[in-house]
Chain A
Amino acid sequence: MGDEEKRGIFGSLKDKFKDYIYGMAAHEMTRQALKTRGSMEHLFILITMGDLLGVPILPPYYSLRLLPYVVPQISTWKRRMLREKDLTDALA
């Protein structure tokens, strides 16, 4: 067994171990942070683009500037804002 190969096996073991620890300890935190960020994103779109839902919030001149950046989010965001809440929301 050459040194190279040895390092390969240990290297991948080390990676696996890192993933394992990450999964146990940090994955949930990361997920939580991203989830919070996601909710904030929706809040952000609501306060800048509220007109899309018929909620006039702002003089729209400058909010139009932001429109191009939120194009991909618009459809999911509208769905999220307009849908009804149910029990599974609490579990999510």
Chain B
Amino acid sequence: MADRVPQSSGLSALRGRISFIDLMQSLGLMVIILLGSLIMTAMSPVFATVRNIENVLQSATIIAVVAIGQTFVILVAGIDLSVASVLVLSSVLAVGLVQFQGLSPEIAIILALCAGLGIGLVNGLAVTKLRIPPLIATLATMTIGRGMAYIYSGGTNIAPVPRIFIDLQASRFLGVPGVIVLTLVLAALAQIVLSRTQFGRSVYATGGNPLAARLAGIKTERVVIAAFMISGLMSAIAGLLITARFEAGAATAAQGLELAVIAAVVIGGVSLFGGEGNIGSMLLGVLLLGLVQNAVNLLNVPPNWDSVVSGLVIAAAAALDVYRRSYLEAGMRKKVIAKAAKSTPKTS
């Protein structure tokens, strides 16, 4: 029985190109977002105003930027709980280094970003060299990072902020708020890195099957360390955005942000098992969470109910992820069994 390349019909060729379920998940999110927006337009006169939409997007930028970094970590089958702590640390450093140490704002910003990279490096080394599970390693740096931010700032927000942050928040690019443009640029860069570079391919391989990746000559430990460093850097950048938004070195902000980020990334189709997902659909997950938050505010849902609603959205998305996997595996098994039944029985 010689294997021949079969004459693939148009349909099966199409199936090979785009996984139906993948399409469903992106489209599904898109459909949910559109339907939800229509309903909200009908229910609230404020929703479909430029001001409100801009507000939703602006507040989503902070989660989005952190989520871009988190995506790299989750793609290598890790998880980074330290992101919110890095964010506040970066924020208090960017302001405090100017105010307390008298550095120039530019140097302060660079040092804040370096702090993010540094914590990412520590996370990466702890996970690869010390083999501490990512959940525990980053739980430790999360606690330490937040503590350091409190120590440095004295536990309060630091104001006023250097001029550069006011300008950033006020900036517009072709009429679009600068922070939104910056977020989109970062997202585009991340997507290019993931889909078009050797490093990006190594990220997917390391998350998908670390042993196979190593045996194919990929330095998987370096890939994991780099993913954590990207997450640290992105969180530090988000720290600058939050500084601009609140006009303060925000020591007490972003409580629980790490969980919102992880939820957004998973809703956006990035698998917690690693190796699967992309920035585009991930951003839809961020957007969906942002819209849910906005809807909860506009519809005057009692404040304690908003977390219940967010929780339900997260549970639904996680269920979709599990379902998608079992569907894929079932399809694969069916093919393998059909093939085995055709071949001659023989003990090996």
| Pairing of A with B | no
Binding site for B on A (CB under 8 A): none
Give B contacts to A, CB under 8 Å: none
